[in-house]
Amino acid sequence: MVRNIRDQDALDYHSKGRAGKIEVIPTKPCFTQRDLSMAYTPGVAVPCLRIKENPEEVFTYTAKGNLVAVISNGTAVLGLGAIGPAAGKPVMEGKGVLFKRFADIDVFDIEVDTLDPDELIRFVRLIAPTFGGINLEDIRAPECFRIERTLQEMLDIPVFHDDQHGTAIISAAGLLNALEISGKDPADVRVVFSGAGAAAIGCAEHFLRIGIRRENIVMTDRAGVIYKGRDEHMNEWKEAWASDTDARTLTEALRGADVFMGLSVANLLSKEEVRSMADYPVIFAMANPDPEITYHDAKAAREDVIMATGRSDYPNQVNNVLGFPFIFRGALDVRARAINDEMKLAASRALAALAKQDVPDAVRKAYGGVDLRFGPDYIIPKPLDPRVLLWEAPAVAKAAVETGAARRIIEDWDGYRESLERIYGPAHNVVRGVIRKAQQSLKRIVFPEAHAENILRAAQILLDENIARPILVGDQAVIRERIAELGLDLAGAEIEDPTSRAEEYAETLARLRARKGMMPHAAYRQVQLPLMHAIMMVHMEDADGMVCGVDRSYAETLAPSLRVLQLKEGVKKVSGMYVIVFPDRTLFFADATVNIDPSDQDLAEIAVLAGKTVREYFDIEPRIAMLSFSSFGSTRHPYAEKVQRAVKLAKVMEPSLIIDGEIQADAALNPEIIERAFPHSLIRGDANVLVFPCLNSANIAYKLMERLARAEVIGPIIMGLRKPVSVVNHWSTTDQIVHIAAITALAAERAPCMKEEAGRERAIRERILGGESL
């Protein structure tokens, strides 16, 4: 929770620019007369008649299948109370923003001016044909219970009151993990609720599904314990949770209790009451905005407490955004008729399981770099963790299919998960394409900087997702200690001591570099260094590729790699390429890494290598623009003429590639300029591979794209080496290392097979292993 927000800041946020937080954007073009006639009359009549013939076609021809109504009458808005429908509208718009941001679900927020439950029920029933689901929001208890239940019985689309079920689903996930940490069985624990409104009753009902026994639940409200025979402040929903107990106050009920569930008011729970609870008490203090007891006070009362609140500045935030977007995503994708109990339980279990996984570097950075690993201070995933979508939505959808709530049956669950990944945006799609290919061959990728945290976390992801088989080079004891410190499980990774195979590798290295001044004793020392050992593993085919660079510069990685692995046949220089991903297109920039002032022959080679790499790795047909400040001779200058010569050379070197230039960058990317000024160009404003005339321009360009255009940058991809080596940098994140490792694995799979050379090396190796001196 961000504290100390000034009122004016909040008002400015909601009022500046277009007022409010949402807008409607058409998904089809509407610019020409033909577009108008298709969008409205007469063309619109065709889908109308199709839907009349088959009502299920409404999901095919309209937005219904991805549209949710957020409906409120403003009678219980956050902690503000009954402020009315108009005053509650900013909250409902905010709910729509969260649906869209986290699950790409479209929302119409509808504020209804009525206090009559029957009127509200009738209203929702009448508008239901428009929507794929109904999210009831901020409707006071006890009316909310009857409204939801009645609408669920009436309608054949999901009706979900988030105030009841959202908190229940998230808190149940946290509770399952808290009880696992404390070694307690859900069937044996006593749970005390403070509060008996919609959220509390929703939680109590859901807790039964995770194994809590009804007789072990005590509920309290402002009048004290809800016990059998009590008449004061009772209704039929409270009556269902009346306990057979002698306790009459919250203090009495808490003695010896295992769990406190606070859904009431701030500062209600005292340190003395916390001390009266059982060993390893679980306290979920979820009053908003301030909890029933602060995290620090609860920890001061006793160290063994496991604590959760509704605030983001304390560990274990119970935030409903972990639930409703992903639950509706799963429900909508199978066209569910309802969100049933099994779907809610599946959501809780998915969140509980996700909390036990290693947390991506990007998520930790989003929360200030705090160490997030399963334990008392991390029992619930963080709201900004993008994996929640991929875990929770499929779990909900699968439960809907298995329980018969789904109209649409998903059979390819891996394919469904991939479709969800597209919500993350184009950069994620580009990477996932590479990862899918890498998963088919499971290459061995060696990491000579295995002590680094980001490398070890990347290795965990490579193992978990079956992208590659990581080999970690370094002191085995140190690496295992780091793995334990980070709470990782890298049992499937190979740990290679650089002193192993020293004689074998030294003999080969000395032979390779004998004419370059390499003495046998020097070779023996070098192969026991992690970097050279890893390079030799790749050379000797004990690994398929290498990723390195978090502790050293490009040159420090590339130079020894080049000396041992050498260039591909016919290649004169190594070069590097970056993938630059924008929302509407993907570009490739080369050479942005190695060659400072390339010659015309160098530029031609860079263009050909880049084109082949794009075609082979990404299944994209390259359209290569050789960039300059001149277009097709418009300026006579040696720099422009160098690029002209490079174009001619590149076309001869690889006739199958579409290559043109010299051309200015705007013309290469803008069809209107090409059509007006350069109609003869092979590039029609649709270039996707940009070859820069020098390292200055390329390096500056890709960094400007990353910082100013907010493009996603992947790379560099090193091109030209005989075997795959990739270079990361000091600030590479875990995800970036995973992406580069996947590209490296794919490069190993797609590399031309050097049969004769590999056979010769294997023969030499067998002679060495046989004890023969060379």
Asked about 40 being catalytic, the answer comes back as yes
Would you list the DSSP string of 561-588?
Answer: HHHHH-BPTT--S-EEEEEEE-SS-EEE
Distance CA 627, CA 644 (A): 10
**What are the beta bridge partners of residue 718?**
576
Kindly name the residue from 64, 95, 382, 651 that is annotated as catalytic. Answer: 95
Backbone angles phi, psi at 651, to 5 degrees: -65, -35
Strands 689-691 and 586-590: parallel
Distance CA 124, CA 643 (A): 66
Q: Do 108 and 42 form a contact (C-beta atoms < 8 A)?
A: no
Return the structure tokens found at 4: 């100390």
Q: How many CB atoms lie within 10 A of CB 556?
A: 14
Q: By C-alpha distance, which of 270, 260, 266, 262 is closest to 298?
A: 270
Would you list the DSSP string of 228-277?
Answer: TT--TT--HHHHTT-B--S--SHHHHHTT-SEEEE-S-TT-S-HHHHHTS
For residue 278, give the DSSP letter: P
Return the structure tokens found at 752: 């031309």
Q: Do 546 and 468 form a contact (C-beta atoms < 8 A)?
A: no
Q: By C-alpha distance, which of 493, 428, 441, 497 is closest to 464?
A: 493
Tokens 């990404």 belong to 618
Return the structure tokens found at 370: 């705090």
For residue 369, give the DSSP letter: T
Task: Report the chain's terminal Cα–Cα distance, integer Å.
Answer: 68
Distance CA 664, CA 424 (A): 32
Asked about 702 being catalytic, the answer comes back as no
Q: Do 128 and 61 form a contact (C-beta atoms < 8 A)?
A: no
Half-sphere exposure for 538 (CA within 13 Å, toward CB): 34
Distance CA 748, CA 725 (A): 9
SS (H, E, C) 294-320: CHHHHHHHCCCCEEEECCCCCCCECCH
Distance CA 310, CA 694 (A): 53
Q: Which of helix, strand or coil describes residue 20? A: coil
Q: What does each C-alpha distance from 244 to 226, 307, 372, 727 come to in angstroms?
A: 9, 28, 41, 67
For the chain, state the CA radius of gyration: 31
Q: By C-alpha distance, which of 213, 206, 211, 217 is closest to 345?
A: 206
Q: Do 321 and 1 form a contact (C-beta atoms < 8 A)?
A: no
Q: By C-alpha distance, which of 547, 585, 549 is closest to 686?
A: 585
Kindly name the residue from 13, 16, 28, 40 that is annotated as catalytic. Answer: 40
Q: Do 308 and 302 form a contact (C-beta atoms < 8 A)?
A: no
Q: Do 462 and 487 form a contact (C-beta atoms < 8 A)?
A: no
Q: Do 231 and 225 form a contact (C-beta atoms < 8 A)?
A: no
Backbone angles phi, psi at 747, to 5 degrees: -60, -40
Would you list the DSSP string of 516-564?
Answer: GT--HHHHHHHTTSHHHHHHHHHHTTSSSEEEE-TTS-HHHHHHHHHHH
Q: By C-alpha distance, which of 664, 670, 602 is closest to 635?
A: 664
Q: Which residues are designated catalytic?
A: 40, 95
